[in-house]
Amino acid sequence: MNGMIVAPQPLAVEEGIKVLRRGGNAMDAAVTTAFVQGVVDPQMCGIGGFGTMQVHMPRIGEETMIDFHAKAPYLVTPDMWKDLVIGLAKDGFGYILKGNVNDVGYLSIAVPGTVLGLHEGLTRYGTLSWKEVIQPAIRYAREGFPVTLSLRNWWLSRTDTGRVEFRKRIQTTPASARIYTKGAGELYEEGELLVSEEMARSLERIAEEGPEVFYHGEIARAISQDMEQNGGLIREKDLQDYRATSTEPLRTTYRGYTVATNPPPGGGITLIQILNILEGYDLSKLGVNTARYIDLVSKVMRIAFADRDKWVGDPAFVQVPVEKLISKEYADECRKKIQNVKNTPSPQKPTSDASHTTHVSVLDKDGNAVALTHSLGMSSGVVTPGLGFTYNNAMIAFDPMPGGANSLAPGKRRVTGMSPTFVFKGREPFLILGALGGARIITGILQAILNVIDHKMSIVEAIVSPRFDCQRGPITLEARIPYYVCEELEKMGNQVERTVRSYGNVARVHGILVDKSRGLLQGGADPAGDGVALMA
């Protein structure tokens, strides 16, 4: 059976497919795709960012998570922002602070992990050289790529959340404005070539010298100097001490399938908790997106996210009761609470990160699989002169009030909704899933799984089907869920918000379904973006 790649950026997918067709494996293709994504979708991801990947390598018997989450710099103090809090962003993605110091600019930047994370994956599981997998990204940075409608719309989109608007965000620093505008704030039009020679040079150095140049060498020194001169917190020691980590995936069973996903501070623990609770109900009898179905599933979401708010943080800093939260026994306890759950707004906590993230799902001809999610958060708008890449704004996801599971601390990894997930049928991968969309990644992937397993959909149908989300506030429903369903939900005592948009409000899911027993290989890219599924 041939391989397949699914991701939101067609140019990146095509470069990954070239790797598979030349005989490279799933990791070679995933890393190649990820580097190109960082060039052609530069506010969603890149070498100034962070992420996590799940890896399945059956021939060597390995199944692992490689986490390269963003870390708070050592100069962080737990209470440094407690007097700056204005409140939560209206959409729940992070806190709004005076001066937006955690959102844009140098203080918003956490220690990036993408370069080391991708290197770790390729070194352990790839077959191609580090230099080889970066070449397509260098080419697109140097020769340019056509600005997509999605990228231009991102620049033009407006927000009433309290965060800085994106058109202003990309002009936060002169070095960023020089790359992403044509002068005087004029944006590139759809189809115009965007070139970044400085990014090409940085990628060339990383290709030639390895991640050492980014974390220990000349690039590290340039980052540290720029941060120190402009009030940022990252120093050379933060970069020198950064490590990607390898962990065992969390696992559960769901209706005879095995689900494997990421541990804290990732979102997989919450995904598993929801699946365990829902396994006690016959969802197929309720029907897809009926009022009774949405009422039940949203109540289960609310229970799991309340536990997430209370318990989930960086396990190196807080004690997360992982075994309890993912146990079938705890799911039994949670089901007993369902009748008492009200889908009305509760005191809110921020939902980790917003939707400015990306993902790639890869399967090769030998059954190796990679699900890789990486991000810049919403991007800080900061580009160091001469380096050409944008940094993350991951600091926005930390709780600025001391004492919480996700509160600030030096060296701490922030909570994220990223949940690269495999569903196994026996020992074989059946679903390879991931999404962009902040904490709604969790509920987006959840519904893709339910649609395939409970509602017998193809992967395309499962991803295209309208979705809903309920974490702390009202139930949010995409516009394709009919008004009469909303009205019935309200009669059942729920508070409901129906979005204007038909697609993309509840994550953007990208996945592969493979079933060797039936000769099936299907790919689904979320219709809310430019995504594509290609077979090798």
Eight-class DSSP state of 339: G
How far does CA 403 lie from the centroid of its chain?
26
Run of H or E including 166: helix 166-169
State the CB neighbour count (10 A cutoff) for residue 345: 10
Q: Which SS3 state, helix, strand or coil, does residue 119 take?
A: helix
Eight-class DSSP state of 475: E
* Residue 358 falls in the annotated catalytic set: no
State the CB neighbour count (10 A cutoff) for residue 328: 12
The CA-atom distances, in angstroms, between 9 and each of 34, 37, 44, 136, 329 are 10, 7, 11, 14, 41
Q: Show the tokens assigned to 14.
A: 């095509």
Q: Measure the CA–CA gap between 419 and 361, rounded to whole angstroms.
A: 12
Query: Can you give the length of the chain in residues?
Result: 536
Closest Cα partner for 289 from 298, 280, 300?
A: 298
Q: Show the tokens assigned to 437.
A: 């969309």
Q: Measure the CA–CA gap between 47 and 373, rounded to whole angstroms.
A: 13
Could you tell me where the beta strands, DSSP code E, fall in 185-319?
193-194, 245-247, 250-254, 257-261
Q: Measure the CA–CA gap between 167 and 156, rounded to whole angstroms.
A: 6
Angle CA 486–439–319, to nearest 5: 130
Is 116:174 a contact under the CB 8 Å cutoff?
no
DSSP 78-109: TTTTGGGEEEE-TTSSSEEEGGGTTTSSGGGP
Backbone angles phi, psi at 520, to 5 degrees: -100, 135
**Out of 52, 173, 357, 476, which one is annotated catalytic?**
357
The CA-atom distances, in angstroms, between 222 and each of 137, 278, 429, 468 are 22, 50, 43, 44
Residue given tokens 């897809």 in the structure block: 288
Active site residues: 357
